Structure 1
């Protein structure tokens, strides 16, 4: 497994480290002259990192920001990841970045998949930085345990997949999702997995030790050997 663990005594220290990792990778990409791609997740853990990045000394006009996953809801829905990224990251200097969302005008994620895939194929590839989270159920992105479409998402060579999760406390009512496939996740130079708290640390360790990917889909990311995964954790 190509996993590097970076554990910290405080969330502030972890935020500093993720910030520096992201800035360095994006600057390297921009200096190569082909633009950069920054794939981002929703959630409370990365929010302070995004707010800090929004003021970073980067040529944001050369960076394309895209979502790791999205609930199949409109932009004005309170669970929209796209709206969350606009509010937290695409502010200040980062307002100059181009954002590619996943939700489109199609009635369902399945019917909108081809349009989403076409949009993601235009991103600088491989992606420069992909920021992932992990749920207490062992999901990452919108790769949920035993979800409808999970097998396809783990096996397809496309970047994106449509998922219908099994409703739970983790998913809430928004079970219809669009997500990066496993191929889409490992199509990155830097994969950063952000977790915090003792509960998620225990989930992470369980995921490392087991092999049932359907039960804990984050295992597919942790066990692959195509790209290194840097795991950031703080209490």
Structure 2
């Protein structure tokens, strides 16, 4: 793994604009290279304006395959649904083929069964795209991630069983009694590019631990993300505070 690329931007609007540029570049690069782009989306409030911006772009929509790195165990029309948010802000506004939008199942009443079902969905798509066997880990072109103030990413929460899962692509992540469907660390780390979007002063403490030379990966799970491809962090100044991340700052 190469050293992470760290960019510090002035504020959240600048973060969204820079992320828009990077995501558009990644989509176009992937399509030029192998005629499709497999993209996994993040939830939360930070990427919502990014998705709205993507809806305004002129992109090869029929070449995109959209997944989610994690999803809350709620119906898609629930206000907390990551997929519902992305569809309203972006995906329902552009002509991506419906069968290219792989929404995690959350209506089975059994999170473990839903995780297995999403695992099968991901494998089926990548089996067609990459011709890989069920023993191989698929390779996304880009995975978008956020980070919580506790250092979690996707639904990989501190000191939970999901952090140790290495034999599946998808598992159940638990936040207390709140189950989630989540990518596992090995699946994320297979990606050609991972882009973290981090904004807000409440992230300073966790960032300090995540970027510390030594630390507990299970206490701050974002430390587990070490992709074989490019790892890029896009962080606003409030989140950085006085931390020295060895960053390249953008004006």
TM band (smaller chain): 0.7 to 0.9
Residue of structure 1 in register with 2:163 after alignment: 150
| 2:179 counterpart of 1:176 | yes
How many correspondences in the alignment? 223
Gaps of 5+ in 1: 168-174
Residue of structure 1 in register with 2:110 after alignment: 108
Q: How many angstroms apart in 1 are the aligned matches of 2:60 and 2:227?
A: 32
Give the secondary-structure state (helix, strand or coil) at the position aligned to 1:23: helix
What RMSD, in angstroms, separates the aligned Cα atoms of the two structures? 1.9
Q: Alpha-carbon deviation of 1:120?
A: 1.0
Residue of structure 1 in register with 2:218 after alignment: 214
Residue of structure 2 in register with 1:20 after alignment: 21
Gaps of 5+ in 2: 130-137, 239-251
Deviations 1:171-219 (A, max 9, x none): xxxx111101001111211100010122213311222214212211111
Seen in structure 2, the aligned counterparts of structure 1 residues 133 and 225 have a Cα distance that, compared at 3 Å, is closer
Which aligned segments of 4 or more residues in structure 1 are displaced greater than 4 angstroms?
94-97
Q: How many angstroms apart in 2 are the aligned matches of 1:119 and 1:96?
A: 16
Contact 1:132 1:140 survives alignment (8 Å):
yes
Contact 1:195 1:201 survives alignment (8 Å):
no
Deviations 1:89-141 (A, max 9, x none): 21333555621011244321212222111111214542111110000011000
The TM-score normalised by the length of structure 1 is 0.87
Seen in structure 2, the aligned counterparts of structure 1 residues 105 and 33 have a Cα distance that, compared at 3 Å, is same
1:159 to 169, 176, 186: 169
Kindly report which structure 2 residues correspond to 1:1-235, keeping only aligned pairs within 5 A, or say none: 2-93=3-94, 95-96=96-97, 98-121=100-123, 122-123=125-126, 124=129, 125-152=138-165, 156-166=166-176, 175-209=178-212, 210-221=214-225, 224=226, 226-234=228-236, 235=238
The TM-score normalised by the length of structure 2 is 0.82
Q: How many angstroms apart in 1 are the aligned matches of 2:77 and 2:11?
A: 34
Q: How many angstroms apart in 2 are the aligned matches of 1:43 and 1:181?
A: 18
